[in-house]
Amino acid sequence: MDAFSLNLSGRVALVTGGSRGIGAATVRLLRAAGARVVFNYREAAAQAETLVAECGGAEHCVALKQELCSPTDGRALVEDAARVFGRLDCLIVNHGIWPSHDAPIATMSDAQWSRTSGVNLDSVFGLVRAMVAQLDAQPQIFAQRGHIVLISSTAGQRGEAFHADYAVTKGALISLTKSLSSELAPRGILVNCVAPGWVATEMSAAALKDPVRGPQIASVIPVGRAGRPEEIAAPVVFLCSPHAGFISGEVLNVNGGAVLVG
């Protein structure tokens, strides 16, 4: 019997927000599976450079500095990324912001709502639109024309009090996944979604390390802890592999069972 392998040799992937956390873990696993990877960063230049070196240097992995706040930003990143290795086969939309302070809807500022929407949703429209155009324009050399994986959240499924801006954008990504699947699967472009729960990253560190809130969070996760970035990255890589060729429009919950008891 042949060994089971998530072999992505020959494929090129773009990972947004790839310099740290879930994004960096995804970059590493994609490289381990044989893909060449382009990722963007906003400010973490040193971390990005370290990750590129760890992944074999510019021949295999390239970091691009690019803000993602608008459709224009998303389109620019895809166009720049496609020029690096001459094609793109997978898009992993991982970037996003979660304002950590509680913001009741009655007092949430217009600026916070607009910024969260711009980063978490508007830029995604630009990324996806440009990625589909890129896939349509380049030669198809694999069974699937391409893979798109959107990173949502448990908040997008059941909401999150005092973080309505974040929950709304992540819920929209679930709707976008289903809409794009219906539209693009007949053309060989498979779109899926991974919805993490609490994950131990820089973005969530303040909440998870809080002496009161941290234990409260753990208490509602059946496995009793937050996830590790690698535990989110592995399902993402699977969804970009040939083994996921019959999966489209799905939301894969990776949350330690939290949604089931939420």
**Active site amino acids:** 166
Residue 68 CB-half CA count within 13 A: 29
Q: What is the C-alpha R_g of the chain?
A: 18
Q: In what order do the strands lie in the sheet with 90-93?
A: 61-65, 36-41, 12-15, 90-93, 146-151, 189-196, 251-254
Are the CB atoms for 35 and 6 separated by under 8 Å? Answer: no
Task: Please report, for residues 88, 95, 177, 180, the alpha-carbon distance to residue 122 in angstroms, rounded to integers and kept in the order given.
Answer: 21, 12, 14, 15
Q: How far apart are CA 52 and CA 29, in angstroms?
A: 13
In the chain, which ranges are continuous DSSP H helix?
21-32, 45-54, 71-85, 110-117, 123-137, 155-158, 164-184, 205-209, 213-219, 229-239, 258-261
